[in-house]
Amino acid sequence: MKLVFLGTGGSWPSKERNVTSIALQHNRDVILMDCGEGTQRQLMKSSVSFMQIEKILITHLHGDHFLGLPGLVQSMALNNRERPLEILCPIGTKDILNLFLSVGYFTRDFDVNIREVSDGECIDFAGYSIKAISADHVVPTLAYRFEEAPRKGLFDLDKAKQLGIPPGRLYSKLQNGETIEYKGKKITPEMVIGPKRKGRSIVYSGDTRPCESVLELAKECDILIHEGMVDDNLRDKANEYGHSTITQAAEIAKKANVGRLFIVHISPRYTLEDTPILEEKAKKIFPNTTLAIDLMEYEVKLRE
């Protein structure tokens, strides 16, 4: 599993940052989190194929989060995509997105299924789930939590030896969830396999003021991707317009006890030269912080 930060800026593209979009590659599928203008161009520069995108999670209908959709869908059509594309979005935005995707003289041979997601709704997919909650922005906005399905427990070799089970195919059967019989005694997988282990979890805030709902959604997650638009000297203005500062994002990460924080949606007023200075301020609050830059990749490793 890996994250590819396609666009890490907010409001409008700058010379150094495109607007918001993050790709999550899980096995062979790609989940795109927001799709600001120019996202398909960023995909061409990245290691991710736009034809692998299965789902797009739209947080809200501000242009820097969804204006890239028509071009991306048209590129899929021109490359003969056939399988459906699913788009998740806030309540009340489906009709707007459908109208938006109908613009342009092109046809497509695949379905685009737009699904409105309510506050607190959790949707199960093969191998993972996606939960949405309302964030605190100036328009209806969702934050999303990707939760990988639990993994099998670890095989306890000592317990297997204590039960006298010989190594080999009987071990494999137990690991595959089968009950075996050995020397007239039934042995179930639960007797030699530990509890299930948590899968990986990623939370993406979208645009938001610091709020309890995103904090709750992010608790104990492996990765939090939180907006942090400006330095703390602009806190009042940022909060007035429904945004967080870089240090407020770090405070959320600390309170939620996340594994790692990536800050995105950086204002175009800052250059890449400002990145280390801003990042250091966040690290004073939450040391495991990275101010993301465009086309950065990060491998999300399994917990032991």
How many angstroms separate the Cα of 191 from the Cα of each of 134, 182, 197? 42, 13, 16
Q: Which one is catalytic: 29, 34, 64, 111? A: 64
**Residue 86, number of CB atoms within 10 A of its CB:** 17
CA 58 – CA 142 distance, rounded (Å): 8
Alpha helices in the chain (DSSP H): 39-45, 63-66, 69-78, 94-101, 157-162, 169-175, 212-218, 235-240, 246-256, 275-283
Clarify whether 294 is annotated catalytic.
Answer: no
**Secondary structure of residue 69 in the 3-state scheme:** helix
CA 94 – CA 192 distance, rounded (Å): 49
CA 39 – CA 150 distance, rounded (Å): 32
CA 87 – CA 31 distance, rounded (Å): 10
CA–centroid distance for 221 within its chain: 11
* CB contact at 8 A, 183 and 164: yes
For residue 277, the 8-state DSSP code is H
* CA proximity to 76, closest of 115, 95, 104: 104
Give the up-direction half-sphere exposure of residue 91: CA atoms within 13 A in the CB hemisphere.
Answer: 8
CA 247 – CA 194 distance, rounded (Å): 40
* CA proximity to 85, closest of 44, 31, 49, 39: 31
Enter the tokens of residue 213. Answer: 């709902």
CA 303 – CA 200 distance, rounded (Å): 8
Query: Which residues are the active-site residues?
Result: 64
